[in-house]
Amino acid sequence: MFLKKKRYIAILIITIVTALSLVLLKPLWLTQLTELEAERIRLITPTQVAPASLDRINREQLMADLRWLADAERQGRAPGTPGGIAAREWIAEQFAEIGLEPAGTEGFFHPYSVKEHFSFSRWLRGRNATIPGVENAANVLGLLPGTVPGLKPLVLTAHYDHLGMHGDTIFYGADDNASGVAAMLELARYLKANPLQHPVLFVALDSEEKGLQGAVALFRTELLHAEQLAFNINIDMLSRDTQQLLFAVGTYHHPWLLPLLDELQPQSAVKLLPAHDRPWYLAGNTQDWTLSSDHGVFHQAGVPFIYFGVADHADYHTPEDTAEKVDVMFYHQVVETVLSFLTLLDQHLAQRETRP
Ligand SMILES: [Zn+2]
């Protein structure tokens, strides 16, 4: 009896010492991992970039569309508000004018509502665990057929919602994510005239800011099925970075993308950085963006993805994220880079899919 008691005490002491040392040593260990990741990123930061010579995307149209979405009249495009509804109706009009096929459940629209609920996965990631309810939200979907029959669509996603109004203050959301939606429209215009081998499904998503609800609704309502999709390219925040850096997130999960990015860099006037997709036990306190925007939902559904976006800036999620702050030349070249990536991806996947 006495021996047994001693053993219990020993186990208890070992457990307490282990737990304490983990708590005390973890910051040091994480700091070292963060430094290793920073060193990895420093080593891959390209110093030589192409001149900003690509000009397939119409810069004036790109900026005009961004300004329309980030205008005060849109009142920050919160889901279900007059500004949010005006934005999605305008996007559907653009899709129709471009000549995309309606691919929602009601023409171009995919309406949905969400009840407020608790999310364990959000709680685990240290965020506000309650998913707020939204009423009268809707995604906008348009399809552009490809030139080769039988290929699964590439899905290009960009969320059009933002934070709306707080009192009298408008959160314009120019970079986040009028920039992604305006880019999507210009890419659709270009690709309509110069189609890829794959079909491209253009999806302007609602209520991303409320917990990626628009992307979740695509799969929850079975409008989309993961096994019927070839790939997801998500664009969210493209229009400004003081260091002219564009992050390419997803190569940790899909290393076959790295050679494509190596091929892309010499054509691109922005510095491409494959990062922000490693878990904390590999990258320390470096942020993991695997689930940070709508691509996370495609990833969890089993669809391979890449996410293009800039680093968070001082105006991120503030009323200062306005169209005037956009770096027009950088933004234009980012969209050109996404277009070049789409072309490379299309060729790569078509070869893979049609190989005997
Ligand atoms: Zn965003």
Q: pLDDT tens digits, residue range 299-328?
A: 999 999 999 999 999 999 999 999 999 999
Question: For residue 251, is it within any domain?
Answer: yes
CA of 176 to the centre of ligand 1 (A): 5
Check residue 30 and give its pLDDT. 87
Q: What is the whole-number distance in angstroms between the Cα of residue 43 and the centre of ligand 1?
A: 28
Section 196-218 average pLDDT: 96
Residue 67 structural domain: 59-354
Task: Please tell me the distance between residue 209's alpha carbon and the centre of ligand 1 in angstroms.
Answer: 7
Does a structural domain hold residue 314? Answer: yes
Q: What is the DSSP string of 34-58?
A: HHHHHHHHHHH--S----S----S-
Measure CA of the first residue to CA of the last residue in the chain; give whole Å: 71
Is 43 part of a structural domain of the chain? Answer: no
Q: How far is the CA of 80 from the centre of ligand 1 (A)?
A: 17
Residue 261 lies in a domain: yes
pLDDT at 20: 83
Give the CA distances from residue 138 to residues 194, 205, 218, 333, in Å, rounded to whole numbers and listed in that order.
Answer: 29, 7, 10, 30
Give me ligand 1 centre to Cα 18, in Å: 40
300 CA to centre of ligand 1 in angstroms: 18
What confidence tens digit (pLDDT) does each residue in 5-53 have? 888 888 999 999 888 877 777 778 889 999 999 999 988 888 778 888 8
- Identify the CATH number of the domain in which residue 125 sits: 3.40.630.10
* Range with the poorest average pLDDT among 13-22, 131-140, 141-150, 253-262: 13-22
Q: What is the pLDDT of residue 355?
A: 62
pLDDT of 356 > 60? The answer is no
Share of the chain above pLDDT 90, in %: 79
| Residue 147, number of CB atoms within 10 A of its CB | 12
Distance 97 CA to ligand 1 centre (A): 26
Lowest-confidence segment of 49-53, 163-167, 249-253, 344-348 by average pLDDT: 49-53
pLDDT of residue 5: 80
**46 inside domain:** no
- Whether 252 shows a pLDDT value over 60: the answer reads yes
Look at residue 18 in the predicted model and tell me its pLDDT.
Answer: 85
| Residue 233 scores a pLDDT above 60 | yes
Q: Is the pLDDT of residue 98 over 80?
A: yes
Query: Is residue 1 assigned to a domain?
Result: no
On whether residue 223 sits in a domain, the answer given is yes
The Å distance, Cα 194 to ligand 1 centre, comes to 28
CA of 294 to the centre of ligand 1 (A): 9
In one-letter notation, the amino acid at residue 304 is P
- Cα-to-centroid distance, 317 and ligand 1 (Å): 9
Q: Is residue 126 part of a domain?
A: yes
Total number of domains constituting the chain:
1
